Structure 1
Amino acid sequence: MTWYNSFMFKKIVIFGVGLIGGSVALALKKQPHSPQITGVGRSGQSLQEALQLGLIDTVETDIGKALQGADLVLIAAPVAQTPLILRAIYPHLNDATVITDAGSTKSDVMAYAKAELGDKVGQFVGGHPIAGAEKSGPSAAMADLYIGKNVILTPNADTDANALAKVTTLWQQCGAIVSSMTAQEHDSVFAAVSHLPHLLAFALVEDLAKRDNAELLFKFAASGFRDFTRIAGSHPEMWRDIALANKDALLRELNAYQQALSEMTSLLEQGNGNALQALFDHASRARNDWAKSKTQ
């Protein structure tokens, strides 16, 4: 028995039982002693779907009742909803309830926790599972979504060690590899490797969709377009919130990317094939080395 199995969750409350929250629920249901899982959310229809699919055991609209006996609360709703949820659950938290989230930005979420949880801020652990799909909603949930995937936790000086251990347990029980970093480092890293690619995919699809010959363009788009733009099918509200929440870091990345595009444009205007090939070679090697490392 490993150390993290010493924490047994009896009841977990999930705000937002879609792809992310629902996949946590399904993964936990595969455990030998799976916890009772209560779903809370904005859409009654979505919650009923989650119930019918077996993602959750109960649906609760009364937050006080939902949190009775809860060991852990997972906020898997769009980031902009986080302060409202924290404010709503605060009066119903006991000293043993751990709170965590699954948002893609962390500096704002850690600030929300400090502002809304007051004396219970130590019970909050910021989290970000690096897993997902372009589909959303309860029907998109997968029990194996987190197996072998990274989850970043962002504890700070306020974070209780026991709360951190319990959230680590949660994600390990889902099959994830758990790491920690500061919220600021997290937001800088993911502005570059996650948030920027999503914005670029949205921008390309939007550009083509607005053109007079959009139908013709999409008719002949093939695998290259499909691969580059897959993530443009992601949840629009969630990505609106991420872009605004991580605005400063994302603007820096957009400026750097625009500079890279300007340099490539200049090489193309000059007809400088040697320099273009050198650029492509360097990028190709970097991408292939990364892909190889992910399969080892």
Structure 2
Amino acid sequence: MKNRKKLIILILIIIIGLIFATFYYMNKSQVYNKTLSSATKAVATEEYDKAITLYEEALNYKKDSDVNKKIVLANLLIKSKATYNTAIKQATNKDYIGAVNSFKKVDKQDTKRYSLAQNKVSELTKLYIADNLKGANDNLSSSKFDEANKYLDSIFKVDANNVDAKIVKANLEKAIQKQKDDVEIQANAESEAKKITTFDQAMKIAINSNDFKKMVKGLTKKTDTWYVRSDNTGVGLSPGGVIGNEKGPSIFVKDEPLNNGWSIVNNKNVFNITIGYIGLHTTHIGQGYWVEYNTGKLFRWDNGQAKEVE
């Protein structure tokens, strides 16, 4: 009788234990499932930090590798969302290349933003190219060729085969070449303009030289090529010759070119300009100038000896 009573008590204890164990397990499972459900909702509303906290709480009720993977994904989505938001700000500030680079970093597993990011990459690349094309064309029109080239280089870095940029590049190269040609033409024109090719030009170089001015110092110019004493004492000169009683020297420059205006001296073509000294009814010619053809270099000659002067 006693043994039977003990057996009944034991059975009751086991039954009660099983009931409590079942209740505990069911309650734990319920809490686990509820926590996972809350975490999933948090992910859906992009509350990733909250989702991670709930996932970690769920692991206290049940060890599950899938939950660990969801925690990794939630951390990835936090980073991806931040990258996407940074890209949006960059695009707003027209930092198109920075925005493109940021959008490219949006993770494929970020299903809410990945496709949007890829579309933005294409859209902003087009805007970037359009802006740089405008900059290139504007600077080309203003003949700011270096600046125009910088804009084109920026385009080719993102699209090496951009047709529009290649057209502007070709136009830029033509404009640069034209500018070089124009500079060369201008330089040649200026060089030609400076060449001494007429006797009149040579005469001006001679009579305007410092050397000639020293020679006629103290004399006064009376005609284009005649000089007399500054006090004009007893001196009278005219292009046709000497008149009056000269009491002091005067100078005339022979302005009638010989040999078509130039001679060959020391294997160089020169204009030969003769200086005449007049005084006391005598005329002495023993000096003069050579003006080198084209270059205009001035040489003073005296009895066959010549030296360059200014």
**Bin of the TM-score, shorter chain as denominator length:** under 0.3
TM-score, normalisation: structure 2: 0.19
TM-score (normalizing by structure 1): 0.19
Specify which structure has the higher proportion of strand.
2
Higher relative contact order (CA 8 A, sep 6+): 1
